[in-house]
Amino acid sequence: MTRPAPTSSAAQRASRSAWKARARATLGDTSDAELDALLAPAPVDPEGTYLERIGFPGETPFTRGIQPTMYRGRLWTLRQYSGFGSARETNRRFRYLLQGGQTGLSVAFDLPTQIGYDPDHERARGEVGRCGVPIPSRAAMDTLFTGIPLDRATVSMTINATAPILLALLVATAEKNGVPRARLSGTVQNDILKEYIARGTYIYPPEASMRLTTDLIEFATREMPEWNYISVSGYHMREAGATAPQEVAFTIANAIAYVESVRARGLDLDEFLPRLSFFFSSDRDFLGEIAKFRAARRMWAATVRERFGAKRSRSMQLRFHTQTAGSSLTAQQPELNVVRTTLEALSAVLGGTQSLHTNALDEAIGLPTEASARLALRTQQILAEESGIPNTVDPLAGSYEIEQRTESIESEAREYLARVDDMGGSLVAIERGYFQAEIAREAYRSARAREAREEIIVGVNDLFEGNPGFSLFPSERRGVRGQRISPAEERHQASLVRRWRENRDAARTASTLEALARASRTSQNVLPLVIEAVRAGATLGEIADVWRGIFGEQPPSRAF
């Protein structure tokens, strides 16, 4: 990348004054002394590199955050990820968290829902409601959001292969309650590429999956102006073993693939890009994670400007949700997970996240209980209300360590991205197994380091209690018991979906599924047909089966 000429001191002073004016407009009558507490750069930068590489908050290249005043103007969204057992129980948990101060809902779906099976399917047996909520029908979606104002609550749905179906179910439920789709606000993950790389909950071959992903983006761009239609995820790659530079590079590589797919549909990128969002992990390397978020913002801004020619400032902003690292949680001495999660959440806040989920202390043992979920939420609230950190924008900016790490992560991530470009992009790299092999190699290196105690995990390979030879020794759990889902609940969910099918208009349902199949064989956008199908009573499994019959199924990767 060609580096511009150094910026003059006069230009820096002018830029500093303009930034102060914008900050003052946001915060009201604020003195220069108070604004200086936001740690703007020194008035004079002899080398002229500050504005070029770091800049001001809210300005390109967004190293220091996407808003001039960050959390002084608006706090991050406190968004706890929840879903288990049944739609009724999950609705109760949502209400509990909202009453406790949560500001956004984030839905976890169970494995059968993620891979397109209804609860009564033989392949769903033993998994219904275990790691999320089962949502096979409009009735289940209605129950999930009973009493929750969908025109005011923001909803995030962590779903990928079946994202078009879940979005259609949400639209149908909202419209049944008098909320038009144009007023729905939230995010659907809809990031299928990372499933082939690191997670494995795909259904169809990559090309067909990309078509469905792009159909959803195109539909939401035109019909749902408040909805964020994709959240490109590095989190799952990091959980699988990726390094911080790999997480940044591979996530941006996938985002580039989505942007190119959307551009091929003829959509205006300056209309599409402001609602593209990202999802990152916050792991245990406290300073490294802060630097990672700053590097990712800067790298995305440059990518969008230089590769795609975007003009709007909002198009260049990397907005992201963060979840503390589930892979860092331990079943041994689980109370220590509170400390790990707090440090990881602090990294996300200092790194400038737009929303945050904090993991519960018992998630290495089972689903979070109400008490552990409340403690996880309170962790965020203490950071927001008691730490004083939100009062300063990017407080670590200018730290030699932070800036050096930011440069280092970006440089290494650019090298990875160049390799992906040389291969022909993310789809080709996935087909060749490049991402999978790179992540597996790093995961193996990390495992060996822990076995050799070169990397210490407190309570696991050092400083343990009880029997060090048995990693789940009961005395190390301190009586912590994760929530369990009973087999009776699974049988109940299977009976509910069978009853739903018996009571619907079978002829109408069959007609809408046939119309969906015809559209799926053409280049027509399928989302309107999916919405009609779920309105008519079609289940998630039935719609997924229509596509299985047309697109086929992707065989399991050797990486999983």
pLDDT at 26: 78
Instruction: State pLDDT tens for residues 109-139.
Output: 999 999 999 999 999 999 999 889 999 999 9
Which domains occur in the chain, in start order? Answer: 75-451 (3.20.20.240)
Q: Which of 234, 357, 359, 348 is nearest to 288 (CA)?
A: 348
Instruction: Locate 378 and state its tokens.
Output: 């309170």
Question: Could you give the count of Cα atoms lying within 13 Å of 92 in the half-sphere of its Cβ?
Answer: 7
**What does the pLDDT read at residue 42?**
47
Q: What pLDDT, on a 0 to 100 scale, did the predictor assign at position 471?
A: 42
User: Which of 116, 170, 122, 123 minimizes the C-alpha distance to 142?
Assistant: 170
Confidence band for 41, pLDDT divided at 50, 70 and 90 = very low
Q: What is the pLDDT of residues 357-406, one digit of tens each?
A: 999 999 998 888 889 989 999 999 999 999 999 999 999 998 889 999 99
pLDDT tens track for 347-366 = 999 999 999 999 999 999 88
Q: What pLDDT, on a 0 to 100 scale, did the predictor assign at position 30?
A: 73
Cα separations in angstroms, 95 against 42, 91, 118, 212: 47, 6, 26, 32
Residue 174 CA to residue 142 CA, distance in Å, equals 8
- DSSP summary character for residue 124: G
Q: 442-494: per-residue pLDDT in tens? A: 999 999 999 999 999 998 988 876 654 434 444 445 566 666 777 899 999 99
What pLDDT is stored for residue 28 in this prediction? 76
pTM of the predicted model, to two decimals? 0.88
| Dihedral in degrees, nearest 10, Cα atoms 549, 551, 553, 554 | 180
The mean of the pLDDT values for the chain is 90
Q: What tokens appear for 453 in the block?
A: 């105690």
Per-residue confidence band for 2, with pLDDT thresholds at 50, 70 and 90: very low
pLDDT recorded at residue 283: 97
